[in-house]
Structure 1
Amino acid sequence: MAKSLQDQLLQAGLADDKKVRQVRQEKRKARKQNKPVDADAEARRKQAEQAKAEKVARDREINRQRQEQQARQAKQAQVRQLVEHHAVSRSKGETAYQFVVGKKVHKIYVGAEQADQLARGRLAIVALGEDFHIIPAEAAGKIRERDSEIPIIQHDPKADQPDEDDPYKDYQIPDDLMW
Structure 2
Amino acid sequence: MAKSLQEQLLGAGVVDKKKANKIKAEKLQTKQKQKKGQLDNSAEEARQAELKRQKEEKAARDKELNLKRQAEIEYKAILGQIRQIIIQNRVEKEDGEIAYNFTDEKKVKKLYVSEKMHKDLSEGRLAIAKLEGQYEIVPKGIAEKVQEKEPDMILVLNTSSKAEEVDEDDPYAEFQIPDDLMW
- Tell me the TM-score normalised to structure 2 length: 0.68
- Shifted more, 82-91 versus 96-105: the winner is 96-105
Which residues of structure 2 form unaligned runs of 5+?
A: 2-30
State the structure with more CA Rg.
1
Match of 2:35 among 29, 33, 36: 33
Cα separation, 1, equivalents of 2:93 and 2:104: 19
Question: C-alpha deviations, 1:83-126, integer Å up to 9, x for none?
Answer: 11111121332111001234222111112221121122111001
Cα separation, 2, equivalents of 1:90 and 1:46: 68
The corresponding residue for 1:13 is: none
Cα separation, 2, equivalents of 1:99 and 1:166: 29
Percent identity of paired positions between Structure 1 and Structure 2: 32
CA spacing shift, 1:171–1:136, aligned 2, 3 Å: closer
Which residues of structure 1 form unaligned runs of 5+?
A: 2-28
**Does structure 1 residue 68 correspond to structure 2 residue 71?**
yes
Give the CA deviation at 1:77. Answer: 1.2
SS in 2 for 1:91: coil
Alignment RMSD, CA only? 3.0
CA spacing shift, 1:81–1:166, aligned 2, 3 Å: farther
**Does structure 1 residue 124 correspond to structure 2 residue 122?**
no
- Tell me the TM-score normalised to structure 1 length: 0.69
Q: Which amino acid aligns with 1:117?
A: D
SS in 2 for 1:88: coil
The corresponding residue for 1:167 is: 172
Give the CA deviation at 1:47. Answer: 1.0
**Does structure 1 residue 155 correspond to structure 2 residue 142?**
no
Any conservation in 2 of the 1:96–1:107 contact (CA below 8 Å)? yes
Question: C-alpha deviations, 1:121-157, integer Å up to 9, x for none?
Answer: 1110012343211001111111122223433312222
